Copies of this chain bind each other. A is one copy, B any other.
Amino acid sequence: MNHTPTLVETEVLSLERPFRFESGDILPRIDIAYETYGRLNEQGDNAVLVEHALSGDAHAAFYHEGDRKPGWWDCMIGPGKAFDTDRYFVICSNVIGGCRGTSGPASIDPATGRPYGLTFPPLSVRDMVEVQRILLRHLGVDRLKCIAGGSMGGMQALQFFCDYPFQFESFICIASSMKHSAQQIAFNEVGRRAIMADPRWNNGNYYDGVPPEGGLSVARMIGHITYLSEKMMQEKFGRLKKDKESRAIFRPSFEVEHYLDYQGVSFVKRFDANSYLYITNAIDNFDLKTSLSSRDRFRGEGRQRGAHLDDMRGKRGLVISFSSDWLYPPSQSKEIVQLFSAFNVRVSYTEIATEHGHDAFLTDYARPSEIIQGFLSSLA
């Protein structure tokens, strides 16, 4: 039996009015790239907002015309899957500051006709959330069954849920953190320094020439080491060599070197180095608790953010961690459970035994799928 792959397209909402960042900076207009899967039901109560991680985009599921690989969370989104598109209306958008359709440093500044580069405003996780709020309004969705994400996607889910709890029935936060530790900041910082040490970076002005591919690929390689568990890496690569007798000096020879090389090279084809700087900076500065206590300092689009923490009472949360994830270790997930329990959210927590490390949220989906299906079905 042949299956014709379900085709989807990324759509773009162009907001032709100013968007104000948490920093106070304003852009005169922004684009928001997004995809939706399934249908909003008549009652308007079956929407699920899915949040992508550092290198993700709006294309979470199904296929783009001509592509051989589906969206980044296709294992989780689709008919009968964890986020069942026969039941739920699933929405995913590219984050502000990104480079996959939503406005970011590579976008054209209407004032100059040239890419923003480093004149793009400093970015926060709250900015990501506010942009998605605009999208939801555009889609006519004002109440969601769930907001869900892994890694940086989990941070957005937590921030959005806390700032506007009345919009959500529940959140799902996978392999994430309320705030980065010194080591998490350190790994990101080295990635940033690798980009900025590349002379082609040129203070962010490289859009007319060759981008800082060397630096960006090093940053990505660092990331990939932290995404896999030590054991998984050992089982996958060990000390195997591709090219045993080569005397070519300092070219990749171990399998693990080829793997990292491939990851670095393929990443630079699809990602903008400045976006990498902005987004990693946003997540390093993300601090959920502090942002909650400073909620009065800022008014978002429309209703005041965070003014209704009490609205969390009785809502539901699901927190999932992976035993071998040393980048976002289970201890950080447990902190999330504690915080939300204190807000009287009914939080379920599961630590899944796996050797996939942090990557498990993308690759080891069988158990999480079951748990998420059960969780969503149990909602009102």
| Residues from chain B with Cβ under 8 Å of A122 in the complex | 247, 249
CA distance A257 to B188 in the complex (A): 10
Tell me if A59 counts as interface (CB < 8 A to partner B).
no
| Residues from chain B with Cβ under 8 Å of A190 in the complex | 218, 221-222, 225, 260
Binds B, one of A68-76, A155-163, A234-242: A234-242
| Residues from chain B with Cβ under 8 Å of A225 in the complex | 183, 186-187, 190
A246-297 at interface with B (beta carbon < 8 Å): 247, 249-250, 252, 254-257, 260-261, 264, 277, 281, 284, 287
SS of A interface (majority): helix
Binds B, one of A46-54, A144-152, A192-200: A192-200
| Residues from chain B with Cβ under 8 Å of A218 in the complex | 190, 193-194, 197, 218
Tell me if A133 counts as interface (CB < 8 A to partner B).
no
Residues of A within 8 A of B (CB): 23, 118, 122, 179-183, 185-187, 189-190, 192-194, 196-200, 214-215, 217-218, 221-222, 225, 228, 230, 233-234, 236-239, 247, 249-250, 252, 254-257, 260-261, 264, 277, 281, 284, 287
Other than the given A118-B249, A186-B233, A198-B198, 4 more pairs (CB < 8 A) read A23-B247, A181-B239, A193-B264, A199-B199
